[in-house]
Amino acid sequence: MLTRQTSFTRAVEAEQARIVAAGVLQGGLEYSRQLLWDARQRDVLTRLDQAWARPIGDQALGGFNAGFQGHLQDLQGKFNLRNLVFNQQVDAGQLQSFQQLCQLIGIDGALGRRISQRVIASYPQRLQAPAATSRHGSFNSGRQTSAGAAAQTLAPRQPMLRSLDDLLGLEGVTPELLVRLEPYVSILPGNTWINGNTASAEVLVAAVPGLDLSRARPWWPSVTPGTGSSTVAISSIACACRSCRWTRSRSASPASGSCFRARPAVISAGSACKRCCTVPRTACPR
């Protein structure tokens, strides 16, 4: 009898702990969404000196001491592996950028090529060159059901990647290597631009032809994210303003782009579409 009572008590305690943990997680997610909503209303740009970039603790739960810890990341401040394929064609420029990024962060070139091949194999490939189209005309998820998909395509040879963890089955990819990749690389559902206000110096160097680390590091914010003590601005990289159309590199978000993509169930993603250009208008060469 005593053994049964002890087992029942432990089961009740475990269920209570599970309910509390689920409530804490939901509270943190709702607080994160509110931070992103407030940032969207206050500023059209996404920068690291805004409130969303601060670490999230128990203040998300109104002072309830539950040991909650979290943070938000701008995934467009990283190199999006989805960009290796655009309009069902391998993007040679993005492929070269990723190889350069691997070199900058100390990843073997052969392993970088294997990662690229794995990503490319997870999307349909056109069997013939497509007609010239605008990059900003429509959203293309890379699936055969997309509006821009052609009739003659080569089906994906590998499952589509959902996160960096999906690379673990690849030869040479270890958990330690993913930890090294995570600050610089993301996987988003569609092709995106890099937000120069939140990108690291290494990502900027890989994205902008002719830029080196000695020139990129001064642009990287020297303040702690979320402190509000500095305004992060990137100059002389690229301008994607609709009135200018100078898009020689892809380091700036287009006027119709988004700095965050909605991920309701993932606290490290974020939400809130923004109309923005990360480069001051005066930086445009025209």
Residue with tokens 């194999």: 121
On whether the CB atoms of residues 197 and 215 are closer than 8 A, the answer is: no
**Residue with more model confidence, 120 or 275:** 120
pLDDT of residue 68: 75
For the ranges 5-14, 66-75, 133-142, which has the lowest average pLDDT? Answer: 133-142
pLDDT of residue 139: 54
pLDDT of residue 128: 64
* Residue 123 structure tokens: 């999307």
At residue 80 the predicted structure's pLDDT band, cuts being 50, 70 and 90, is very high
| pLDDT tens sequence across 228-286 | 433 333 322 332 333 333 223 333 333 333 333 322 223 233 333 333 333 333 333 33
Spell out a b/e string for 109-148, using b for 16 or more CB atoms within 10 Å of the CB, else e: eeebebbbbbbbbbbbebeeeeeeeeebeeebbbeeebee
Q: SS in 3 state form for 139-190?
A: CCCCCCCCCCCCCCEECCCCCCCCCHHHHHHCCCCCHHHHHHHCCCEECCCC
What's the whole-number mean pLDDT along residues 170-186? Answer: 93
For the ranges 28-32, 194-198, 213-217, which has the lowest average pLDDT? Answer: 213-217
Residue positions counted in the chain: 286
Q: Which domains does the chain have, with CATH numbers?
A: 1-72+226-286 (no CATH), 79-193 (1.10.40)
- What is the CB neighbour count within 10 angstroms for residue 4? 8
3-class DSSP assignment, residue 89: strand
At residue 40 the predicted structure's pLDDT band, cuts being 50, 70 and 90, is confident
pTM of the model: 0.65
pLDDT of residue 236: 28
At residue 221 the predicted structure's pLDDT band, cuts being 50, 70 and 90, is low
pLDDT of residue 153: 84
- What is the CB neighbour count within 10 angstroms for residue 280? 13
Least Cα distance to 49 among 233, 188, 272 occurs for 233
Rounded CA gap, 131 and 149, in Å? 12
| pLDDT tens sequence across 121-167 | 999 988 765 555 545 445 555 555 555 544 588 898 999 999 999 99
Q: How far is CA 264 from CA 19, 32, 36, 192, 261, in A?
A: 19, 10, 12, 19, 10
